[in-house]
Structure 1
């Protein structure tokens, strides 16, 4: 009927659906009737095509019918689907279903047909997507990606999506930002994944949510309260421990919670949102069959006319006194309960497990018990918390002669007597105290034969009905810490008229040795405690010790700057040492190991006395002292690990350093009001912390930071710190401007320094030239005073010279190296004594005086001539004239010029030395690279000249 040869279709053929399965390329019809609306391509080996369909598109092989609306492709065996495979699809296409085809996202970006509104991509091994994956889909309202490999909800979903199915993937969590823009989403299926919690920030437009078969154990109320339009919720086959709360009562119609771990109905809020529901399914949950469950069942029964209820499962525990009507639902579960108590007797109201070799109590316990007796089980070391809390008819609890190590917690207030003798209980701790406070009906408490060393009266004060407390055979330590218990027993003996047997069961002392085996009431009476355990300047009441200035003043015993002597005593919980002008070194309270509250207000402390405080401190008042700095937060948490409130009001803090701000995180409440805070850049860490946490009302209120005000500078006085902007208290400095000004000033200063140095250098050189000229003039005058004929020597007095030669050279040039070499040769090897100005001029004398002195005492004067020398002060015209005259006066035996450079041929320098060199023959110095023989001849010639 469909011919490939002519590609002509019978016009009378009215075909609506076409299924092509297991066909080769040659068998696929190229001409398909235009009447076809639904087309399926199943198991077709498109890889056998002679062209790349991923590049050209399927239209190269199939002529799509113009009315095609639905295209289904399954197991096309094309390899990874490319980006152009759906190129030029007919505009009529509305539904595209692809299954079991590999889609390599996000490496390729498929160009989807733009008019489709129903897209199914199931079992395509999709792992992830990006923002471009669905960018062409502008009309899609149904999107299914079931059975892929995704670990998160796809990102960049079309905003037109109304139904999304991502079931059977690998999701454990869902990113918060994937729901942005999905305001039309009404149905969401995320079943059969690995979610551990309900996704947050789900669109409020959701009406149907399916979270079936995940691993959710807790229903987030905040996440559910957002779903104000939700009508159906399915959380079956999860791990829920409680019924979800926060669902909208106005819209909820169907709730399914089958096969979870829901046991306890907490309150009517667990189910009353279903007042308009048409179906509730709660099958196969381990119910705690108590009154709350029965109340829910009764409430549901009232709605039976409009509500279909499915409630089944098994009871994890049973309440036995619910009445005949309710018991019909749960009595058949009693056999389950009986099988849980091995080697125990249970008759609905009583449970007995004597010598049963138990290591743990039977749990869950049946409700409705009147008595519990579990004794002689040495391996039983712990009673689980709240195990008996719901037993509101329990009157007697006997747990004697076991191995229990701490007082049971979470006991019902109905108890009248508790037997805990001969266990291994060491103390009644703060954690146990809440349980004792609930035992308002308890009359007898037996704790004999345990390991208790101390007990306090305030631990018993809430048990108003307690008449008898057995504490014998405990290792009681009879020090000042026992004062309150002793007084409690003394009062109880008088009030309740104890018998001799009851007195026998009172505690005996074990420590100290001199009080061993004596009853505490006979050792520690009121007189003993009043004068030996309590400072006489203090008052006390139920663990509170008051030694403040006010109290001492009332006793006329006020002592300033003196800490009262307080013996070791674990009884005191609070201590008042206010207004005593105490200094840091006076604080030593580590012996009060249970002290929790300390008042040190109005003293002279300059720092927090960490080392003098017990680790048990929780609240400390240090207001109105002189503290100005905080210790490191690590030190505070080390010395005071339990600290919760620190009052530092009205001290001397002017700033809070960066490292000190962390105290607001380590301590629950830190109060700083009334300190002279200086609002400048140094206070930025505190101001920034306050403003950053401005929306956290709890933090600001507990630290009382909203009312902090500035004291200085004057312009901020009285202003609230929280309202300051950084530009006010710490203006931004224009570093570029300052840098430019500093740079400009520095450059100007450098220029001035250079100019001044040049000026001073020229001035010094000028003065040096004048001094040299003056020196030679003075030298001529001195020579003139020696009368006689310089040519014949007649009348010339004999002169003894100190130096063989005075060496004239330029010290700031390369000539120095030659001079030092000459000195080494002449002085060390030839025993000549040479004079140079750097070494032999007398310090403190003028240049002129030194020239006269040195040249007068030198037989010869060696001139080291170079270009530098020719332009120096030594070659001034006046100096040359003086040297020439001196040379003549010395009969031509004064000057010895040595030419390092031949300046006579250099017009620039020749004029400077003409006067000297015109009358005197100079010695040419060898070059540095000349051989040793040349240098030896030169030194011999120079040495001979100096003779």
Structure 2
């Protein structure tokens, strides 16, 4: 059964092929030359095509021909008999193409027998003689609707041409790309003429105020220095809807010359030398719907309410490289009172200096805009006015700018947007907040090409997004590349989700390990730096030391607790401890009195707390000894909490302390100057002991005997023996 269906389908395609082939163009006119017969024309349902055969004559063609194409040949002359046979055999010939020949001579009324002719194209022939066009149109059929006389080196249009065409149904007349400097104003009197093309000529001025039927007029690429005069005479141009004045030397918008064009809908004044758009320039053109002012680099000033109009729908002011500066352009009123505005093209202008407030002032007056193009304007951020004021946007182009960042969910308010162009910006990363599904579902085109994506795992979202919405992504993946710091690669070949997940896990492990190591180093450093403080805190927590109880009335076990460094043992023990004990004071000296095998911190703190006074023998060695610093710190803390009448700390400076050895605790002890200074001089030793008596509140019956440092060594040796 399936085989039978295949045979039937093959047979149908074969029949269709031969039917189409039988109806295609076939050779119908031949030329006998040098004993050979060659085809020179192809025929197809009333059309005879003899184009490009290098013919120098008009061949005999089949009867009932409706379209004859003799273009791109070498015909030099059209005489009165050139089309006589054709007019007899093909009285319904309606279209004749003789462009790109070498016609330089034309007899009068050479076409008068072609009574049904509607289209004549004689462009690209040498017609420098102005009478050639007059002869060509002499006696031409009244049915003529389209006449194309382009690129014929014409310099003027004789009045006879207008007269010859008066009775015709001419709808379109084109003199494009000639050298015409002056136009006979009667050409505008043609009653049915709707489209007149005089572009690419040498016109310097023109008065066109006498046509009631003209619908479109092109004066592009001439030498006009001002707007054409359209309002001098009645009835003027009541039907004119489009006028093209681009590529001229117009310097000033003298709108009074065209304000009478009540039905004008389209005005193109691009690529001129206009410097200023005056206030309400288009206000009196009541039907105007589109204004195009492009490629006008001389334009620098836009006055207040310049585009004010109740009918304007489209405004194109692109490619002007115009600097949007408040000194020259009134942004706030530029599009004010333009209620019908829906399409706005500002591309290729200098708008990089505009701030958010300027965009809001300019666009929030035109909330009906549905089409906005700000490509190549130097933007380096996404203006909030686009999504706050223009909620009806369907097309938005911000291509070719310097935008590096999109605010989260920036496009979400644009619920009608279908076309979004962000290509050639500096966007390196996209996230789910940039293009949420609620926004993307109504897009039909999204252009993100030529952005400098970064080749890392952050691009995974974009790869998933592009794969999911490939139908709307322009140029994906061909025009999408990313940069990893050294080379540029195709985005689609960068990463896989699995590799990125592995990188993420490894990255987390490295981060956690690094954090742990850093934390350990910091904690170790802190513990080492404050180890004595921590020891004391642990001791307090363990033994519940009472800090805030006033112990002034508590009896003490010892009178004095002496704190000193190992290096100062001889001086402290021989000169201070021994003499204090000789006077009846109960002295606790840790190096001598601490019990072997006990916890040093615990026992020292207990004896320090049970002593009435703490004697700190400060020296450079003392300042460098951590244990001494700990004892001093604990003594200072005790003096603060007890708050007694007498200070329990008595500081004795054994020697001058170097500035490098002055620690915080030493500075606290000596800051007020309330300390005793040990001096080995016999003259000052008595003063030292007198001051010490006052501080310790005891009565010395006998002055201590001073042992010079020179005798200390001999004493130590005798003790050893």
TM-score of the superposed pair, with normalisation by structure 2: 0.39
> Structure 1 length as normaliser, TM-score?
0.31
Structure with the greater relative contact order (CA < 8 A, sep ≥ 6): 1 or 2? 2
